[in-house]
Chain A
Amino acid sequence: MGNGADTETLGRLALFADLSRPQVEAIAHTFEEEMFPEGQRVLRQGFSGSNLYVILDGEAAVVIDGKERTRLGRGEFFGEASTLLGTAPTADVVATTALRCLVVPASELEGFLMAYPAVAIRMLKEAVRRLATTLQWL
């Protein structure tokens, strides 16, 4: 099986900013990279068994019941809620350009976050920020 993305690309992402170069290299060797053509669904609303995706390049739309809610770009991630909770995603995520992602399988996410607490903190902050934005909408 192929190794993931190259270390340079990963090292530039905010999510991994607190890690040492050898740690980033270990991540690059652990997780695979996947590329989606424009228009391809990556996360599927209501389907179990999904994974966490970190965007390396390109853009994606978050779509709930057919309505676009927001866009995500390089360095952002999606699928964290369903992977951590073991539930089906409540939104589709669709590539709006050619989209390159790092894939973290659900079964490996907890171990990954425990091995790199700095990544867990960054992810938590982002999740809280998203929650705050959502609450503003309500």
Chain B
Amino acid sequence: MALTHPSGEYPVVVVGSGPGGLQVSYCLSRLGIEHAVLSADDAPGGMFRSLPIFGRLLSWSKPDAPFERGAREYEWFDHNSLLADDPELRGLVPAEMNRDFAVPSRPEMERGLAAFAERADVHVRYGCRWETTRRDEDGSLVLGTSEGEYRCRAAVFALGVTDPWKSDIPGVEDVPHYVETLEPRAYEGRRVLVIGKRNSGFEIADGLLPWARQVVLVSPRPVQTSVIALSSVRVRYMQPLEDAGLGGGTLALDAAIERVERTADGFRIHAHGTTRPGEVELEADAALAATGFATPIRDLGNLGVQTVAQGRIPALTPFWEAVGAPGVYFAGNATQGAPGLRRHGVGASSPAVHGFRYNARVLAEAIAERHFGVVPERATFAPGEVARFLAHELAHGPELWAQKAYLARVVALEEGGAGRDAGVQPLSHFVDAAGPDAVAATIEMNAAGSIYPVVYARRGGAVTEHVLEPEPQHAYHGPGYLAELEGLLRS
């Protein structure tokens, strides 16, 4: 059998076989852009082959929903499947689910992703580790791997944000990371200290509730219950937080840890209270560091790639190109390096599959157009059809619902009220880039959790925003909204 993607020259190289890498490869193929996909793993699925550690995802996939499984509109109700043009390839994760829960188990997710890779013909060279990167004089990128050199015009790194990361607390090196958490029964009868009060810290607390003698969570930042209430991570927090709130044993302490000390039979932590000043000293039989994850960008800093969050996340442009390194793109979870306009403080949904799968499609289109002059064919609208199209997208466009205030449906306006679909674009690109007359429609959410459409109109180079009223049934294709959109398009 011929070797999949042998070393050599390709228009584009994609690194990673998690959901980010698989999605971008599929979308590049649909646009006819030849590329190689490399992965250090030996099967598809990325992080979901081993994590989350307690075996259940946060993100929903509803096997039954207001739309049929093969429909595009169904995507919003299924946050975990990858996108496909062929209805047969859609909704592959719920097809694996046993329906005990509305969120898949880790093995169900892994199987759904593997089914996609197989049935959508995503070919990956497995067992191939990217190790070094350089830029040649002609501008092309050269990726040195365990299996030889790959040369390309554009590279897409879908590396995940999955490398265990620890803050620089003295002594923390002796504390096992979240990914090294043992079987729950190993903590039976023990007092367990968890460093970190975010998602992964609470996942451990939740998983150990039936086993540990006591779970104590410590970090400087208080848990923001009002923020969590509106996010999918709340399923992890609910039980431990209720336990802590009712004094049931679990403790969630706000303290900055000064150092971690090993003792004869466990750990001692020295800390200072933050929301409540004072020294805090804690002893525990076991400790776990739920201190977060990083993107393994290796030597990409040498090409000019910049990072935020203490080197953990690449800083990206709205089209997910590395700030400071043209031609170097990111896909998957790392696309959180472009948070967008953060309207009302709400960033993009790029750290989860349901958000970044759309980034992948927009990215593939951007690469095809910028580097290869390939532009997908899109619909044109007669006068009067533009408002109807936008109204449908506002009510049911999965891109807009999944990537609120980050992705927008753009229609270029032409003479006499006609229009041309300009696809889905990052909203910050639309509001900041000069361009011909056009409108961009998005769904947004404010800090209070209210969801409503916003339309941005660019006329004569100036962009104005029009915030529409929220509606309890989200029926933004209704007659009132249609009339309002028509008015906006006329003005």
- Using Cβ atoms and an 8 Å threshold, which residues of chain B touch A32? 308-309, 339, 347
Type the 1/0 row for B249-280, where 1 means its CB is closer than 8 Å to any CB of A.
Answer: 00000111000000000000000111101000
A48 on interface, CB distance cutoff 8 Å = yes
Interface residues on B, range: 35 or more
Contact of B306 with A35 in the complex, beta carbons under 8 Å: yes
Residue in contact with A41 in the complex, picked from B315, B432, B444, CB distance below 8 Å: B432
Residue of B nearest to A108 (CB): B345
Find chain B residues with CB under 8 A from A124 CB. none
Per-residue CB proximity of B197-233 to A under 8 Å, as 1/0?
A: 0100000000000000000000111100000000000
Let me know if A26 and B220 touch, CB within 8 A: yes
If A25-B274, A40-B432, A41-B432 touch, whether A33 touches B308 (CB-CB below 8 Å) is yes
Tell me, yes or no, whether A73 is within 8 Å of chain B by CB.
no
Given contacts A22-B220, A33-B308, A107-B447, could you give 11 more A-B pairs where the C-beta distance is less than 8 Å? A1-B198, A2-B292, A2-B309, A20-B277, A22-B272, A25-B256, A35-B306, A37-B317, A48-B467, A98-B306, A107-B345
Contact of B256 among A3, A6, A22, A33 (CB under 8 A): A22
Shortest Cβ distance from A39 into B: residue = B432
A103 at the interface (CB under 8 A from B): yes
Q: Contact: B313 with A26, CB < 8 Å?
A: no
Q: Which residue of B lies closest to A6 (CB)?
A: B310
Whether the Cβ atoms of B315 and A35 lie closer than 8 Å is yes
For residue A30, CB closer than 8 A to chain B, the reply is yes
Interface residues on A, range: 35 or more
Closest chain-B Cβ to A134's Cβ sits at a distance in Å of 26
> Across the interface, which residues of B come within 8 angstroms of A25, CB to CB?
220, 256, 274
B342 touches A105 (CB 8 A): yes
B292, A3: Cβ atoms under 8 Å?
Answer: yes
A56 and chain B: residue at smallest CB distance: B308
B431 at the interface (CB under 8 A from A): yes
Chain A residues closer than 8 Å to B23, beta-carbon distance: none
Once bound together, how far apart are the Cα atoms of A6 and B74, in whole Å? 41
- Chain B residues with Cβ below 8 Å from A34 are 308, 315, 339, 342
Verify if A46 is at the interface (C-beta below 8 Å from B): yes
Q: List 22 A-B contacts (CB under 8 A).
A: A2-B313, A3-B312, A4-B309, A5-B310, A20-B277, A22-B256, A25-B220, A29-B219, A29-B220, A30-B221, A33-B309, A35-B307, A47-B341, A47-B465, A48-B465, A49-B341, A49-B444, A51-B345, A98-B324, A106-B345, A106-B447, A107-B345
Contact (Cβ within 8 A) A22 B467: no
Name the interface residues of A85-125: CB closer than 8 Å to any CB of B: 98, 100, 103, 105-108, 115
Residues of A within 8 A of B312 (CB): 2-3
B465 touches A2 (CB 8 A): no
Q: How far is the CA of A44 from the CA of B308 in the complex (A)?
A: 22
Residues of A within 8 A of B (CB): 1-6, 20-23, 25-26, 28-30, 32-37, 40-41, 44, 46-51, 98, 100, 103, 105-108, 115
Known contacts A1-B351, A46-B465; decide if A22 and B274 are in contact (CB<8 Å).
yes
Given contacts A26-B220, A26-B275, contact A37 B344 (CB under 8 A): no
A106 touches B344 (CB 8 A): yes
Pick the contact of A100: B272, B308, B347 (CB < 8 A).
B308
Q: How far is the CA of A26 from the CA of B218 in the complex (A)?
A: 12
Instruction: Give bound CA distance, A8 to B291, whole Å.
Output: 18
- Residue interface bits B444-458, CB-to-A below 8 A is 1, else 0: 101110000000000
Which residue numbers of B lie inside 8 Å of A, CB to CB?
161, 167, 198, 219-222, 254-256, 272-275, 277, 292, 306-310, 312-313, 315, 317, 323-324, 336, 339, 341-347, 351, 431-432, 444, 446-448, 464-465, 467
Per a CB cutoff under 8 Å, which of B161, B274, B339 touches A23? B274
Closest A-B pairs by Cβ, 4 of them: A105-B345, A2-B309, A107-B447, A49-B343
In the assembled complex, how far is the CB of residue B321 from the closest CB belonging to chain A, in whole angstroms?
10
**Contact in complex: B345, A2 (CB < 8 Å):** no
Chain A residues contacting B222 (CB-CB under 8 Å) are 26
CB distance from A29 to the nearest CB of B (A): 4
Given known A2-B313, A108-B345, contact A26–B256 (CB-CB < 8 A): yes
Contacts of A107 in B (CB 8 A): 344-345, 446-448
How many angstroms from the CA of A37 to the CA of B338 in the assembled complex? 11
Q: Known interface pairs A46-B465, A48-B467, A105-B344. Does A37 touch B274 (Cβ–Cβ under 8 Å)?
A: no
Given contacts A30-B221, A35-B323, A98-B323, contact A49 B308 (CB under 8 A): no
B482 CB to closest chain A CB, in angstroms? Answer: 24
Q: Which residue of A lies closest to B431 (CB)?
A: A44
Q: In the complex the two chains form, what is the Cα distance from A4 to B256 in whole Å?
A: 15
A26–B274 touching, CB < 8 Å:
yes
Q: How far is the CB of A95 from chain B (nearest CB, A)?
A: 10
Establish whether residues B447 and A2, one from each chain, have CB atoms under 8 Å apart when the complex forms. no
Instruction: Please indicate the chain A residues that have their CB under 8 angstroms from the CB of B275 in the complex.
Output: 26, 115
Indicate the member of A20, A29, A30, A44 with the most B CB atoms within 10 Å.
A29
Q: Give chain B nearest CB distance to A13 CB in angstroms.
A: 16
- Give the distance in Å from the alpha carbon of A46 to the alpha carbon of B467 in the complex: 12
Q: How far is the CB of A66 from chain B (nearest CB, A)?
A: 11
Question: Which of A4, A23, A28, A49 has the most chain B CB atoms closer than 10 A to its own CB?
Answer: A49
Q: Taking A4-B309, A22-B220 as contacts, is the C-beta distance between A51 and B342 under 8 angstroms?
A: yes
Query: Are A2 and B344 neighbours in the complex by a CB distance under 8 Å?
Result: no
Contacts of B341 in A (CB 8 A): 44, 47, 49
- CA–CA, A129 and B448, complex, Å: 33
